[in-house]
Amino acid sequence: MKGYDFEGPALELGALVTDGRADPSQKIRIPLAMMNRHGLVAGATGTGKTKTLQMTAEQLSAQGVPVFLADMKGDLSGLASPGVASDRVTARAAEVGETWSGTASPTEFFSLGGIGEGIPLRSTMTSFGPTLLAKVLGLNETQESSLGLIFYFADKHGLPLLDLKDLIAVIQYLTDNPEALKGIGGLSAQTAGVILRSLINFQAQGADAFFGEPEFDTHDLLRVTPDGRGVISILELPAVQDRPQLFSTFLMWLLADLFEGLPEIGDPDKPRLVFFFDEAHLLFGDASKAFLQSITQTVRLIRSKGVGVFFVTQTPKDVPADVLAQLGSRVQHALRAFTPQDAKALKATVSTFPSSSYDLEELLTQLGIGEAVVTVLSETGAPTPVAWTRLRAPRSLMAPSDPAVVRQAVTTSPLLPKYGTAVDRESAYEMLSARLTPHAPAPTAPAETAERPRERREEARERPGEKSTLEGVLGSPAFRSLARSAASALGKEITRSIFGTARRRR
* DSSP-derived secondary structure for 77-135: GGGGSB----HHHHHHHHHHT---------EEEEEETT-SSSEEE-B-HHHHHHHHHHH
Q: Are 69 and 49 in contact (CB under 8 A)?
A: no
Q: Does residue 313 sit in helix, strand or coil?
A: strand
How would residue 475 be classed by pLDDT, with cut points 50, 70 and 90? Answer: low
3 backbone φψ class: left, alpha, beta (φ>0; ψ -120 to 50): left
List the one residue out of 147, 184, 181 whose CA is nearest residue 167.
Answer: 147
116 backbone φψ class: left, alpha, beta (φ>0; ψ -120 to 50): left
Q: Does domain 10-122+216-405 have CATH number 3.30.390.10?
A: no
Average pLDDT over residues 490-506: 61
What was the pLDDT predicted at 55?
96
| β-bridge mates for residue 230, sequence order | 224
Who contacts 356 (Cβ-Cβ below 8 Å, separation ≥6)? 385, 386
Q: Looking at the chain, how many residues does it have?
A: 506
* Burial readout 90-119 (b: 16 or more C-beta within 10 A, e: otherwise): eebbebbbbebeebbbbbbbbbbbbbbbbb
- Best mean pLDDT range from 37-41, 445-449, 499-503: 37-41
List the one residue out of 90, 116, 84, 418 whose CA is nearest residue 238.
Answer: 116
CA distances from 361 to 246, 336, 348, 425 (A): 35, 10, 10, 58
How would residue 460 be classed by pLDDT, with cut points 50, 70 and 90? Answer: very low
82-124 pLDDT per residue, tens: 999 999 999 999 999 999 999 999 999 999 988 888 999 999 9
| β-bridge mates for residue 107, sequence order | 232
pTM, whole model, 2 decimals?
0.85
List the one residue out of 417, 412, 410 whose CA is nearest residue 116.
Answer: 410
Q: Are 413 and 119 in contact (CB under 8 A)?
A: yes
419-455 pLDDT per residue, tens: 999 998 899 999 988 743 344 444 444 444 334 444 4
Q: Is the pLDDT of residue 249 over 50?
A: yes
| Spatial separation of the C-alpha atoms in residues 228 and 191, rounded to whole Å | 52
List the one residue out of 177, 155, 46, 244 whose CA is nearest residue 500.
Answer: 155
What was the pLDDT predicted at 345?
87
List the one residue out of 204, 284, 224 whose CA is nearest residue 251.
Answer: 284
What was the pLDDT predicted at 367?
95
Query: For a pLDDT cut of 90, what percent of the chain falls above it?
Result: 57
More confident residue, 432 or 488: 432
| Spatial separation of the C-alpha atoms in residues 71 and 83, rounded to whole Å | 18
What was the pLDDT predicted at 494?
63
Task: Identify the H or E element spanning 416.
Answer: helix 416-419
What was the pLDDT predicted at 187?
86
Q: Is the pLDDT of residue 145 over 70?
A: yes
What was the pLDDT predicted at 373?
97
Task: For residue 284, count CB atoms less than 10 angstroms from its CB and return exposed for 0-12, middle for 13-18, buried for 19 or more.
Answer: middle
Average pLDDT over residues 189-213: 89
What was the pLDDT predicted at 504?
53
Q: Are 308 and 39 in contact (CB under 8 A)?
A: yes
260-299 pLDDT per residue, tens: 889 999 889 999 999 998 888 888 877 777 788 888 999 9
386-414 pLDDT per residue, tens: 999 999 999 999 999 999 999 999 999 99
Pairing of strands 307-313, 329-332: unpaired
118-141 pLDDT per residue, tens: 999 999 999 999 988 998 888 988
Query: For a pLDDT cut of 70, what percent of the chain falls above it?
Result: 87
Q: Are 499 and 131 in contact (CB under 8 A)?
A: yes
What was the pLDDT predicted at 500?
74
Who contacts 152 (Cβ-Cβ below 8 Å, separation ≥6)? 184
| Spatial separation of the C-alpha atoms in residues 138 and 15, rounded to whole Å | 45
Q: Is the pLDDT of residue 481 over 70?
A: no
Q: What is the mean pLDDT of the chain?
A: 85
Q: Directed axis angle between helix 125-137 and helix 189-204, to 10°?
A: 100
| Spatial separation of the C-alpha atoms in residues 24 and 16, rounded to whole Å | 7
